Amino acid sequence: MMQFFRSGGPVMYPLLACSFIVLTVVIERAIFWVRIGFERNRPLVDEVLELCRRGDWEAVRQKTKGCRDFVVRILVSGILHREFSMLKAMEAAAADEVQRMRRFMTVLDTMITVAPLFGIFGTVTGIITSFEMLGASGIERPEAVTAGVAEALITTAAGLAIAIFTIFPYNYFNAKVHLATLDMEKYATSLEIVYEKLVHKTKVEEQRP
């Protein structure tokens, strides 16, 4: 492996850095999403909506205390601002959650682009080295050119390998963010409908003689 790395030339060092960055981000994001999965509490979300339907805000406060479910946090944010702008409060809370979920995703996106470019750069420098060796030794010693050719091929392969490895977790994490966003929108809309029904019911009862 070390011989393979050395044969790739100096461009292998930034490629090695890219691979370490990708691996670090993938591990961090994987741990993040595993933790999110453990924090989810769908029965509590449904219970919160039921309590809101009855207008039992104190019970909501007690039930959601210390809960780390991101959907519950968004609903609670809307409930706290229900008398002013419930929807905008939930939109702001959801934006914060999405930003947290998309953390470091731009790094992976950048690595998908940069790693192959480094590989191409290594290819160019390797070919230049090959021609320089060819010019110095002549065609009677073609073995002198092999070092540059190897450098060109190895860096290209390494850059493509890093990009290919990064695409799969990048798309997977993007899909997780998309599904989480759909969950936020669904429950936020449900809460808004429940609250509007409660307000309408309250007004009707107040108008009765």
Domain boundaries, the chain: 12-198
For 49, the 3-state DSSP assignment is: helix
Please determine, for residue 136, whether its predicted confidence score (pLDDT) is greater than 90. no
Structure tokens at 57: 């805000």
pLDDT digits (tens, 9 = 90+) for 59-91: 888 888 888 999 999 999 999 888 888 889 999
Question: What confidence score (pLDDT) does residue 204 get?
Answer: 67
Contact present, 108 and 21 (Cβ < 8 Å): no
CA atoms within 13 A on the CB side of 200: 7
Judge contact between 152 and 126, C-beta under 8 A: yes
Q: Average pLDDT in the 148-167 region? A: 86
30 pLDDT above the threshold of 90:
yes
- Mean pLDDT, range 116-144, rounded to an integer: 73
Residue 93 predicted with pLDDT over 80? yes
pLDDT at 202: 72
The pTM for the full model equals 0.84
How far is C-alpha 187 from the geometric centre of its chain's CA atoms?
22
